[in-house]
Amino acid sequence: MVDIRSGASEAIPLAEVEDVELYHPKSWWTHYVFSQDAKIIAIQYSMTAIAIGMVALVLSWLMRLQLGFPGTFDFIDADHYYQFITMHGMIMVIYLLTALFLGGFGNYLIPLMIGARDMVFPYANMLSYWLYLLAVLVLVSGFFLPGGPTGAGWTLYPPQAILSGTPGGQDWGILVMLFSLILFIIGFTMGGLNYVVTVLQARARGMTLMRMPLTIWGIFTATVMALLAFPALFVACVMMLFDRLLGTSFFMPAIVEMGQQLQQSGGSPIMFQHLFWFFGHPEVYIVALPAFGIVSDLISTHARKNIFGYRMMVWAIVIIGALSFVVWAHHMYVSGMNPKFGFFFATTTLIIAVPTAIKVYNWVLTLWRGDIHLTLPMLFALAFIVTFVNGGLTGLFLGNVVVDVPLSDTMFVVAHFHMVMGVAPIMVVFGAIYHWYPKITGRMLNEAMGQIHFWVTFLGAYLIFFPMHYLGLLGIPRRYHELGETAFIPESAHTLNMFISVMALIVGAAQILFLFNLAWSLKRGKPSGGNPWRATTLEWQTPQTPPAHGNWGNELPVVYRWAYDYSVPGAAEDFIPQNQPGLGMPTRETAS
Amino acid sequence: MAVVLILVILAIGSVVFHVFSPWWWTPIASNWSYIDNTITITFWITGFVFVAVVLFVAYCVLRFRHRPGNRAAYEPENKKLEVWLASITAVGVAAMLAPGLFVWNQFVTVPADATEVEVVGQQWLWSFRLPGANAKLGTSESRAIGDGNALGVNTNDPNGLDDIIIEGGELHLPVGKPVKMLLRSIDVLHDFYVPEFRAKMDMVPGSVTYFWFTPTRTGSFEVLCAELCGTGHPQMRGTVVVDTEADYQTWLQEQQTFTQLLAASKEQQQTAIASSASSTK
């Protein structure tokens, strides 16, 4: 029986392992630049991810300008449009969301929330960041090399990705993309091993696995998945590089390109898709699970109520993680693979809806009979629930193989995945930043700017992506830089495209306000104190805010309870920190 | 309070938008109305869940928002409720999956009397091949592609010699007869997509993929490419015309066979050689 009830503090055995000595920085360079402190690395990861994310945001503006007002902007031709969508997609999925959730939040929160002094391999952790930065720079170099970045779509499907009909296919574009992904994966592996080993080995005394906050469960499971999924992408990238540079035929059948017989033969383009989606589908959950975990903690803290069904939540995370490895070919229902696969993959895909739905129920049941504080993190959590439920439900269309046939490769798909793995996780990213910014800086983010940012982003994003589904239902294909004269597309569809583009410009602009808030509040934000949200988890109990190197001063914390002792009957306060024995009342134990 | 109001407007507004949206699927022109029906069932179930969850959240915010002196309830688990909710969800999911798989079984089971029609994709053009008098398509391979043989039909396969070949033109199909579309590409991935037919499938160089359908009304339908195939992707258009049987036969008589195309190309080459020979004299 797992102990999750309050007040069940028990005698904690003495430490079996001695406290470790950390690497102490000797200069400004090793303190702030080549730092081995997970908190600094987290900030480096986050700032790099946000910087490259701004590039992706500008790219989305450019592509929306083209879609909303085709022919108006001369500098966006077909080649550029395909380069923009490709880079936008890849940056958002890999270089922003994966890096921010795991490299950013993972690094900052894992040691603090489990009561460790740092990651267990600080040097590898530092290398992880510098490889990530290098990967980003290599990726960006595509914009400046002859031929520009690749325009193969973020899925990089061969053969077109390495042929001349695609921008960057026979130039530098595809090469730097593949090199960058390879570097990213090497860097991620160093970081990822760190997160897993740290969670398994470095938890504070009393922090059993079933007392860990769901944030850690989400990040931990996502990292395990990423360590298993990224190698598939790694080999796919290496093979495609060989096909492109050495003339091998892993993915290249006999092809006649523009009247020319190519030398290669015998390869399988569909094999690439299997490798890509064996990585690509778990990737969706690599982004989603940390968001699931974090939002659980945001809802619990700001509703002053324990997360409902904690054990079910943990198991749901683990089951979703495991199932996500056997659903990948639902991205390939119309790829030309054996159609009989459809039966298996539609079934596994729809089964995943059950643990996912349980998570949704538990979030809303946590609100039920809560004491809901409508703080900015709570608002973003509510926005996450709405957008995630919306995007998750449209997944039931696309996962159900026969329904996918008319909808696949249309704007319905674009709307679906933006809602479910773009908007929803980003709502959590924002909520998490408003929530933990006080711990990282010691100051609160400005509330007024935050409210404007929230409403514009939430409602704007919903107005962009909800109507977009209907363009797909109408049959408008994705990845068309212009619709041209098409008999079945009415004039009103162009009007809707214009509306979506205008909304995209507005929502994008709201993010600039958010970045301004981040900078402005650093000096002028209201001082927050150590635990402004009156939260239970360990990161709020550090002796200093922001936490110092080593996190805990002289004594490592000892954990007496689960992470969700909010509003415990009979307790003095409406929260009991994890490292507090008893109910916060003067009892015999604490009084003596 | 603004939060509650906006959540309610969002839930109801989404339903209103759905009902009044001028953007809806194109009038169907094939036998796959089953697919449309499955989508309709899915809309009902998911729509209900979406509205229920959002309204429940709105109610919670209204009823349990913080007021001075409030304290949340303490309820870590409720096994009975969790099991109930999981079971209801499983039933809902099954209600969508079962018809889906049922229709999928029809989708992958090609009727024995379906006529084979080949579609060949290349950057950025559609071509078609119909079986000739012997009702059989000849084999093909992309290595055979050359002068007068743009689709790579095997010249030493007698079945292929009478095949009817349409390069970059319209495809006509007779109404009411099932067709099995054999899909082939000679360069990159493409996807043969006619929104009114509902069915679509990628075309993969190096293999032959397929889907089947029965055209149910006459008319002219635009073919689009639905798999990114390079810069010209949106311009890769074609036309399928669904004819009455009589119109179809008339059209069929006007098309050229593979043998005719080969002969024409040989003739052209000979005149070219002859003219170049005469010019060098």
Q: What is the pLDDT of residues A528-540, one digit of tens each?
A: 999 999 999 999 9
pLDDT digits (tens, 9 = 90+) for A284-323: 999 999 999 999 999 999 999 999 999 999 999 999 999 9
CA distance A215 to A439: 16
Q: How large is the angle between the packed helices A107-114 and A38-68, nearest 10 degrees?
A: 140
pLDDT (0 to 100) of residue B85: 93
pLDDT (0 to 100) of residue A562: 93
| Mean pLDDT score of chain A | 93
List A298's β-bridge partners, or say none: none
User: Are residues B37 and B167 both part of a single domain?
Assistant: no
User: Are residues B92 and B156 both part of a single domain?
Assistant: no
User: Are residues B99 and B216 both part of a single domain?
Assistant: no
Q: Which domain holds residue A117?
A: 34-251+266-482+491-582
Which of B53, B85, B108 is the last residue in one of the domains? B108
If one compares A487 and A448, the residue with the highest pLDDT of the two is A448
Domain count, chain B: 2
Does pLDDT of A468 surpass 70? yes
Nearest to A488 among B54, B103, B222 (CB): B222
Q: Judge contact between B151 and B169, C-beta under 8 A.
A: no
Does pLDDT of A46 surpass 70? yes
CA distance B53 to B61: 12
Nearest to B222 among A374, A394, A487 (CB): A487
CATH number for A517:
1.20.210.10
Residue A12 confidence class, pLDDT cut points 50, 70, 90 = low
- Give me the tens of pLDDT residue by residue for chain B, a chain 281 residues long: 899 999 999 999 999 999 999 999 999 999 999 999 999 999 999 999 999 999 999 999 999 999 998 899 998 888 899 899 999 999 989 988 999 999 999 999 999 999 999 999 999 999 999 998 888 899 998 888 988 888 999 888 888 889 999 988 899 999 999 999 999 999 999 999 999 999 999 999 999 999 999 999 999 999 999 999 999 999 999 999 999 999 999 999 999 899 888 888 888 888 877 777 666 55
User: Are residues B89 and B123 both part of a single domain?
Assistant: no
| Ordered DSSP codes for A386-448 | HHHHHHHHHHHHHHSHHHHHHHTTBHHHHHHHIIIIIIHHHHHHHHHHHHHHHHHHSBPPPHH
Q: Is A260 part of a structural domain of the chain?
A: no
User: Are residues B125 and B247 both part of a single domain?
Assistant: yes
User: Are residues B189 and B265 both part of a single domain?
Assistant: yes
Q: Is B255 part of a structural domain of the chain?
A: yes
Mean pLDDT score, A112-119: 95
User: Are residues B144 and B206 both part of a single domain?
Assistant: yes
Q: Is the peptide bond before B124 cis (omega within 30 degrees of 0)?
A: yes
Q: Is B92 part of a structural domain of the chain?
A: yes
Residue A591 confidence class, pLDDT cut points 50, 70, 90 = very low
Q: Is B280 part of a structural domain of the chain?
A: no
With CB atoms and an 8 Å threshold, state whether B198 touches A368: no
Q: Is B20 part of a structural domain of the chain?
A: yes
For B131, the 3-state DSSP assignment is coil
User: Are residues B90 and B154 both part of a single domain?
Assistant: no
Residue A7 confidence class, pLDDT cut points 50, 70, 90 = very low
pLDDT (0 to 100) of residue A6: 47
Q: Is B233 part of a structural domain of the chain?
A: yes
From chain B, the residues in CB contact with A309 under 8 A are 76-78, 82
Q: Is A424 part of a structural domain of the chain?
A: yes
User: Are residues B233 and B199 both part of a single domain?
Assistant: yes
pTM of the model: 0.94
* b/e sequence B125-160, b meaning 16+ C-beta within 10 Å: bbbbbbbbeeeebbebebebbeebbbbbbbbebebb
With CB atoms and an 8 Å threshold, state whether B203 touches A157: no
pLDDT (0 to 100) of residue A13: 65
From chain B, the residues in CB contact with A574 under 8 A are 71-72
Q: Is B281 part of a structural domain of the chain?
A: no
pLDDT (0 to 100) of residue B271: 83
Q: Is B187 part of a structural domain of the chain?
A: yes
User: Are residues B259 and B123 both part of a single domain?
Assistant: yes
For A73, the 3-state DSSP assignment is coil
pLDDT (0 to 100) of residue A588: 46
Does pLDDT of A2 surpass 50? no
User: Are residues B185 and B251 both part of a single domain?
Assistant: yes
Q: Measure Cα distances from B192 to A19, B9, B169, B170 in Å.
A: 64, 40, 15, 14
pLDDT (0 to 100) of residue A84: 97
Does pLDDT of A161 surpass 50? yes
Q: Is A453 part of a structural domain of the chain?
A: yes
User: Are residues B136 and B164 both part of a single domain?
Assistant: yes
Question: What's the gap in Å between the CA of A482 and the closest CA on chain B?
Answer: 7
Interface with A, mutate which of B143, B220, B231 (most A CBs under 10 A)? B231
Does pLDDT of A170 surpass 50? yes
Q: Which domain holds residue B185?
A: 115-270
Domain count, chain A: 1
pLDDT (0 to 100) of residue A586: 52
CA distance A441 to A444: 8
pLDDT (0 to 100) of residue A589: 45
Q: Is A132 part of a structural domain of the chain?
A: yes
Does pLDDT of A29 surpass 90? no
Q: Is A230 part of a structural domain of the chain?
A: yes
